Amino acid sequence: MKIDLDKILSNFYEEAQGVKIPRDIDQLRIKYLGRRNGFLVRVTQEIPKLPVSKRRGIGSKVTEVRSAIERVLADKTKTESEKIRPDVDVTTPGKKTDVGSLHPLTLVIEEVKAIFHYLGFSWVDGPEVDSDLYNFQKLNMPPDHPARDVQQTYYINTDTLLRTHTSNMQVRYLETHQPPVRVLFPGRAYRRDMPDATHLPSFYQLEGLLVDATTSMTDLLGSLDYFAKKFFGEKSKIRIYGHNFPYTEPSIEVEVFHPEKGWIEILGAGMVHPNVLKNGKIDQDKFRGWAFGMGLDRLAMIKYGIHDIRVLYKNDLRFLTQF
């Protein structure tokens, strides 16, 4: 027997054309794919008789032809069975698929990033489990510093903790990057707080850090004002207070004006303290910097009129799908 698979396939196509009803489809299947005497089985039985030089490639060709035939047969069975099954109502509406939406905190993070990106900032992640060294000491807060008290800390052991703020990234970043630096550190922070409408032990912050040859407090204020106008609307205003953070000198606190709630504090900021620059191996004769840290949960609450921070973490779809 001469092996001509192409011929078998074209014969099949020709024969298959008129075939519609299930019994004929089955017969066609038996004729070509039947296990005892189908055309393809017969071909397979011939292979060992061929000279070795002619066998190459025949196996895969058989598989190819088999799948082509199977495809045609399956197609026919499908359309035929649909026609002869009165229990299938093809007019039934399809199942509705729920479409997801972004979490309000994700929206806020993305928006803040986009606003500062326009001012030349990029962003990086940082470790949530960090050392006392980067979270406190390198930020000018030695072990006995009173400023540590206001940030009740989750310690894992004496040297390791859950970061109490995203400021832990400042010196980490400066140690490995040369100015000019314009970078954001968004992420989670942790403090031992009792949960209530405005506090949770885990929350989100976003830190900004800029170090360059010529920059000043005016740039900081201008950037924050620009941010407030983009984020809260062109009519919004900011005002500043003197404050005290160990890692900035001078330090300020910034409030934004909200038409219903009045002035609300949104962030801390200041000129990066000389000790912090030194710890970050920055040449202080050439460079200076400013930094700020904002609470993202609070921004989300102000922006979307949320009154209880806890709903941001409850995964209640009735709440989440509104965004």
Residues 219-248 that bind ligand DAH (CB under 6 A): 245, 248
**Among residues 135, 140, 167, 279, the one that binds ligand DAH under rule CB under 6 A:** 167
Q: List the Cα angle 166/168/173 in 5-degree steps.
A: 105
* Span of 82-90, 105-113, 124-132, 290-298 interacting with ligand DAH by CB under 6 A: 290-298
Quick one: which H or E segment has residue 249?
Answer: strand 248-258
β-partners of residue 243 are 251
Residue 280 or 293: the one with the smaller Cβ distance to ligand DAH is 293
Sequence-separated contacts (24+) of 249-253 with Cβ below 8 Å: 249/273, 249/274, 250/217
* Span of 57-65, 106-114, 192-200, 262-270 interacting with ligand DAH by CB under 6 A: 262-270
Coil, strand or helix at 203: strand
Residue 215 or 248: the one with the smaller Cβ distance to ligand DAH is 248
Angle between helices 39-46 and 22-33 in degrees, nearest 10: 0
Residue 165 or 182: the one with the smaller Cβ distance to ligand DAH is 165
Mark 118-157 with x for binding to ligand DAH (rule: CB under 6 A) and - for no binding. ----------------------------------------
Count of residues engaged in binding ligand DAH, rule: CB under 6 A:
11
**Among residues 220, 254, 269, 299, the one that binds ligand DAH under rule CB under 6 A:** 269
Report CA-CA distances (Å) from 21 to 16, 24, 118, 183, 296.
11, 6, 67, 70, 66
Report CA-CA distances (Å) from 319 to 42, 88, 164, 302, 311.
66, 38, 28, 16, 8
Least distance CB 221 / ligand DAH (angstroms): 13
Residue 28 or 171: the one with the smaller Cβ distance to ligand DAH is 171
Q: Given the DSSP bridges, would you call strands 181-190 and 160-162 parallel, antiparallel or unpaired?
A: unpaired
Query: In the complex, which residue's CB is closest to ligand DAH?
Result: 293
d(CA 268, CA 220): 11
Q: Report the half-sphere exposure of 19 (CA within 13 A, side-chain side).
A: 19
Residue 73 or 228: the one with the smaller Cβ distance to ligand DAH is 228
Contact status: 289 vs ligand DAH (CB under 6 A) = no
Residue 3 or 210: the one with the smaller Cβ distance to ligand DAH is 210
β-partners of residue 131 are 160
d(CA 20, CA 29): 13
d(CA 98, CA 318): 13
**Among residues 40, 65, 69, 291, the one that binds ligand DAH under rule CB under 6 A:** 291
Contact status: 292 vs ligand DAH (CB under 6 A) = yes
Least distance CB 144 / ligand DAH (angstroms): 19
Could you tell me if 293 and 203 are in contact, meaning their C-beta atoms sit under 8 angstroms apart?
no
Contact status: 165 vs ligand DAH (CB under 6 A) = yes
Contact status: 293 vs ligand DAH (CB under 6 A) = yes
Contact status: 186 vs ligand DAH (CB under 6 A) = no
Contact status: 207 vs ligand DAH (CB under 6 A) = yes
Binding footprint of ligand DAH on the chain (CB under 6 A):
165, 167, 207, 245, 248, 268-270, 291-293
